[in-house]
Structure 1
Amino acid sequence: MSTTTVEPTSLLRFATAGSVDDGKSTLVGRLLHDSKSVLADQLEAVEHASRKRGQQAPDLALLTDGLRAEREQGITIDVAYRYFATPKRRFILADTPGHVQYTRNMVTGASTAELAVVLVDARNGVVEQTRRHAAVAALLRVPHVVLAVNKMDLVDYAEPVFAAIAAEFTAYAASLGLGDIVAIPISALAGDNVVEPSAHMDWYGGPTLLEHLETVQVAGVSGDEPARFPVQYVIRPQSEEHHDYRGYAGQLASGVLRTGDAVTVLPSGRTATVAGIDVLGVETDIAWAPQSITVLLAEHLDVSRGDLIAAGPIPVPTKDVEAAVCHLHERPLRAGDKVLLKHTTRTVRALVKEISCRIDIDTLEQRSGAEGLSVNEIGHVVLRTAEPLALDDYTANRRTGSFLLIDPADGATLTAGMAGGSFGTAVDSAAPDANGEDRV
């Protein structure tokens, strides 16, 4: 049978963040409207709602503020996901809240983002929430950050105002370790430099926001990251024709996988060779993250859901994990809590051995002596798992370096975790406790 190489499609996941009333929802609405990504009936509904409020022009923020409470209060509460495309690229956009009490929502929206758009009101400049959102982006290792200085029309499109804000933010972001930072002066309400270049800011020679989103380099497709393939499902057709078929289905979390590659199955550590790859039922020689694929191995190994098929540098399975975490639940996280740890497709029992410190989200200063973590707080924890996990360091691989802590009683998501990273490293050990028992 002939094989087909399925080329990856350029996809950018990005999140918007900013302080209250900086214009995030209006910016997203403008981006969707001016890029012709709004259906006629959606636009008609927004125009009708705007007229009922006595507004002559359509309120583009209504395109994203979908909750009733958001429309009534004029704020963003939930993470609103929007999907749109231009001839150059596809996009998944997460419009995240700006209020302090919804920090966990920003963590959710930015956790998978390759780019964060941080809005600043040109009249107010860099404020506490701006620094908070920059710190979250740094903690989550978002590769690219855009500083969108909004409402330039309200400061007469003054270049010195923009330059001062850009300099202050860039200096602060650099101190947090954020590398790629691009500043763009915009007016979401008027449409300046969002999709079309502004006629009011001839002093600005950079790209519009959409131009930058279309051209920024997307990681993963180039294959720089090692291949990581969490097994989600084992396919064994019950027919004589395919009685020898044993495929492993799932989503390629990172990197590139090719037929003939030598791989290791974790946590067992057994090695194998990729005998074939299927993408949407079509045989192919190569697959890129984040494609959903089926992998066939030349060797007959015991591989099941939760195992990780890996190529390149191999993480050493461990039961002892140190991680930076953001607590998402109203119930505090405390030392001694028994939880479930979900890493890719694998879920194991775990014990919170220690909460090493709580992290000041505004400065990233570590404050020891924390008794627990409350909702929206970020800290450093030490965990002990009942079974070994093949965790990458989050700084090296965001997909396989992240995990969730889950309440075993009701299945509620408690905490989002980032293994190792800038606040510690996963401990390479699977040894039992001193008395010879695992107390998870």
Structure 2
Amino acid sequence: MIQRHGVLITVLFALIVSIISVSAVFWEFHKLNKQQYIDHIFTKQAIISQIFRQHKQRSTSEIMLEANLAVYKINIIDQNKIEDILEKGEFLKQKGEKSVDTQMLMNSQGFLTKKIVRDYTTSMFSYKNTIYFYLQTPDSSLLLQDEELQPYRYFNLLYTYTTVLLIIFISFFLILQRLRPLIRLRRKIAVYGDGNMNISFKMKGNDEIASIANELEATKDKINNIMDSRTLFLRNIMHELKTPIAKGTIATQMLKTDKQRDRFSSIFGRLECLVNEFALIEEVTSLGDKTEFKEYRVVDIIDGAIDMAMVERESVDVDIDTSVKVNVNYRLYTTAIKNMIDNAIKYSPDKKVKIRMINNELSFESKGECLKHPLKFYIEPFTKENPSKNSFGLGLYLVDSILKAHNRVLAHEYENGMNRFIFA
């Protein structure tokens, strides 16, 4: 599944990575930008601290303090609201500092100078779109509302982030749109591979996919022409061969001696078998119409193969349930089984073969010696281990070709003096 949709999965992976990367970058930028903004507006703390220290040093009135703060658009908040704002507001930043005040004192010895060190802490909060400064000393506290400063707003950054994501999604959608013709092309290729030789690959446009589709169309036409020429050539040549073979067979009957008549009859008979096998090979290799595949009982196909092989039924032991069925081309599959029966009886010392089902696979078992070569050697055309046998070396090659047309393979096992050929 992954391999079939590799391009789509790659695009999806790139989309996810892009979204995660962009989101991470914007999140880090958001935190940095927010911190820079907080640091910038917190500089007003210096003015507030100076006004507050002067108020403490000079012991000015609350009205004077409010007036000095009002110049910078800062208001003093009622004490009963402090707890609620500090609890529900968002803490932004805090700074602590020390202030050294000098006071003049008089005693019996005269005037004395006394230095008083005070700790000041200034905190900044955000609450309901308003900035607050909270000043604390060991003996007092003050909450101030700034009318001028605004809390950090992320709308511009959010707008930019949304725009970038929208561009990514639009790009992804456009890529999918460009991949749709490729998906349709893959389906057409699959249909062509299933035997529909009239499927059209033509596509409008000048992009890469259209160019590939049009090249496939041109290649399809060339392949179809070659296959048509090949089929016509093979059928014509086989037809032309059958005519002299038939004439030769008739002329053989006019020979005077039985020895010559039998010899020539055997020659023309072998030639006719060879032409028939060539016809079957041509049919198998050009097989593209799967509509001829139908469901048949295996025992019925085997009965037809036994009749075609013209062997005694006692030579074939069939151990298969009558309910087992296969979806095949009847004539070709029957020919494959017939060849396996012929092959087993021909090379078995007891001239018998046993046919049975093993794990839903058709098995042909016969006594005999183990194959001297790998199975691949015997499924090559015109391959014979024993030239004296009455064969053209096309039997197993034809079986293998028929099985491949049915999406199966021919396998071989040898165990305890028993050869076992399997339609796997």
Give the alignment's TM-score, normalised by structure 1: 0.22
- Highest relative contact order (Cα 8 Å, sep 6+), 1 or 2? 1
Looking at CA atoms only, which structure, 1 or 2, has the larger radius of gyration? 2
The structure that is helix-richer by fraction is 2
- In the superposition, the TM-score normalised over structure 2's length comes to 0.23
In terms of fraction of residues, the more strand-rich structure is: 1
